[in-house]
Amino acid sequence: MIDFGIDAFLSTDIFGQEAFYKSADGISRTINVVLETPYSAPEGTGIVGVSDVATTALCKTADVEDAVRGDTLHIGDVTYTVTETMPDGDGFTTLRLSKE
Protein backbone atom coordinates (compact mmCIF):
# COMPACT_ATOMS: atom_id res chain seq x y z
CA MET A 1 0.00 0.00 0.00
CA ILE A 2 1.28 3.45 -0.91
CA ASP A 3 1.22 6.11 1.81
CA PHE A 4 -0.01 9.41 0.37
CA GLY A 5 0.27 11.36 3.62
CA ILE A 6 1.84 14.80 3.77
CA ASP A 7 5.31 13.51 4.61
CA ALA A 8 5.21 10.91 1.83
CA PHE A 9 3.96 13.46 -0.73
CA LEU A 10 6.74 15.93 0.15
CA SER A 11 9.39 13.19 0.26
CA THR A 12 12.29 13.66 -2.15
CA ASP A 13 11.45 10.12 -3.33
CA ILE A 14 8.05 11.33 -4.58
CA PHE A 15 7.50 15.02 -5.50
CA GLY A 16 9.53 16.98 -2.96
CA GLN A 17 12.91 18.58 -3.01
CA GLU A 18 15.06 19.80 -0.16
CA ALA A 19 15.01 23.51 0.64
CA PHE A 20 16.71 25.69 3.25
CA TYR A 21 14.09 27.80 5.04
CA LYS A 22 15.12 30.86 7.08
CA SER A 23 12.60 32.86 9.07
CA ALA A 24 12.79 36.63 9.44
CA ASP A 25 13.88 36.17 13.07
CA GLY A 26 16.93 34.14 11.95
CA ILE A 27 15.78 30.60 12.70
CA SER A 28 16.70 28.24 9.87
CA ARG A 29 16.01 24.62 9.01
CA THR A 30 15.90 22.22 6.10
CA ILE A 31 12.42 21.32 4.87
CA ASN A 32 10.94 19.49 1.89
CA VAL A 33 8.84 21.44 -0.62
CA VAL A 34 7.19 20.98 -3.99
CA LEU A 35 8.27 23.95 -6.12
CA GLU A 36 5.91 25.22 -8.80
CA THR A 37 7.24 27.73 -11.29
CA PRO A 38 5.31 30.29 -13.38
CA TYR A 39 3.60 29.07 -16.51
CA SER A 40 1.29 30.28 -19.21
CA ALA A 41 -1.16 28.34 -21.29
CA PRO A 42 -1.41 28.78 -25.04
CA GLU A 43 -4.07 31.06 -26.42
CA GLY A 44 -5.84 30.78 -29.72
CA THR A 45 -9.21 30.95 -31.38
CA GLY A 46 -11.71 29.61 -28.85
CA ILE A 47 -8.97 28.94 -26.28
CA VAL A 48 -8.62 31.07 -23.18
CA GLY A 49 -5.06 31.22 -21.86
CA VAL A 50 -4.54 30.74 -18.15
CA SER A 51 -1.33 31.63 -16.40
CA ASP A 52 0.27 32.03 -13.02
CA VAL A 53 3.14 34.45 -12.75
CA ALA A 54 4.25 33.55 -9.23
CA THR A 55 6.60 30.83 -8.10
CA THR A 56 5.14 28.87 -5.19
CA ALA A 57 6.35 26.23 -2.77
CA LEU A 58 3.99 23.69 -1.24
CA CYS A 59 5.15 22.87 2.30
CA LYS A 60 4.08 21.00 5.40
CA THR A 61 2.28 23.57 7.57
CA ALA A 62 4.09 22.34 10.70
CA ASP A 63 7.41 23.24 9.02
CA VAL A 64 6.37 26.84 8.23
CA GLU A 65 3.55 27.59 10.67
CA ASP A 66 5.12 30.92 11.68
CA ALA A 67 6.08 31.93 8.13
CA VAL A 68 5.74 35.62 7.34
CA ARG A 69 6.50 37.96 4.47
CA GLY A 70 10.27 38.41 4.24
CA ASP A 71 11.28 34.87 5.20
CA THR A 72 13.54 33.18 2.66
CA LEU A 73 13.66 29.80 0.96
CA HIS A 74 16.86 28.66 -0.73
CA ILE A 75 16.40 25.93 -3.35
CA GLY A 76 19.34 24.83 -5.46
CA ASP A 77 21.16 27.99 -6.53
CA VAL A 78 18.18 30.31 -6.08
CA THR A 79 17.05 32.24 -3.01
CA TYR A 80 13.38 33.23 -2.86
CA THR A 81 11.63 35.66 -0.54
CA VAL A 82 8.22 34.72 0.89
CA THR A 83 5.60 37.26 -0.20
CA GLU A 84 2.48 35.46 1.04
CA THR A 85 1.55 32.39 3.09
CA MET A 86 -1.56 30.38 2.26
CA PRO A 87 -2.35 27.52 4.67
CA ASP A 88 -5.08 25.20 3.40
CA GLY A 89 -6.29 23.91 6.79
CA ASP A 90 -5.41 20.32 5.86
CA GLY A 91 -1.71 20.33 6.73
CA PHE A 92 -0.26 22.02 3.65
CA THR A 93 0.82 25.64 3.24
CA THR A 94 1.62 27.30 -0.06
CA LEU A 95 4.29 29.98 0.08
CA ARG A 96 4.13 32.55 -2.72
CA LEU A 97 7.70 33.47 -3.60
CA SER A 98 9.71 36.09 -5.43
CA LYS A 99 13.34 35.79 -6.53
CA GLU A 100 15.87 37.87 -4.67
Chain segment 60-83, per-residue pLDDT in tens: 999 999 999 999 999 999 999 999
Q: pTM of the prediction?
A: 0.79
**22, 32 contact by CB (below 8 A):** no
H or E element, residue 10: helix 6-10
The domains of the chain, with CATH numbers, are 6-37+53-99 (2.40.10.10)
Q: Decide if pLDDT at 35 tops 50.
A: yes
> Binning pLDDT at 50, 70 and 90, where does residue 39 land?
low
Give tens-digit pLDDT for 7-25: 887 888 878 899 999 998 8
Q: Can you tell me the distance from the alpha carbon of 54 to that of 97, in angstroms, rounded to the nearest whole number?
A: 7
